[in-house]
Amino acid sequence: MFDIYNNYYKMGLFTKADMDNFVLAGMLTAEDEAKIVGVAGQPA
């Protein structure tokens, strides 16, 4: 699933807020979110 979230984020279909919600829902780990969005929202 990481690849799907990563690709959708890079395509602009998911936002940082979406990623935060996925972590809260348990659909994505905080570590995976950090890999996708980068540290403090900076590009990874």
Is residue 44 a part of any domain in this protein?
Answer: no
* Cα 42 off chain centre by: 12
Neighbours of 33 (CB within 10 A): 18
Answer yes or no: are the C-beta atoms of 33 and 24 closer than 8 Å.
no
Is residue 17 a part of any domain in this protein?
Answer: yes
Is residue 21 a part of any domain in this protein?
Answer: yes
Give the count of domains, the chain. 1
| Paired tokens of 3 | 């690849």
Check residue 42 and give its pLDDT: 54
pLDDT tens profile 1-44:
899 999 999 999 999 999 999 999 999 999 999 999 987 555 55
Is residue 28 a part of any domain in this protein?
Answer: yes
The model carries a pTM of 0.81
* Cα 17 off chain centre by: 9
Neighbours of 36 (CB within 10 A): 20
CA-wise closest residue to 24 among 37, 11, 33: 33
**Domain residue limits at 9:** 2-39
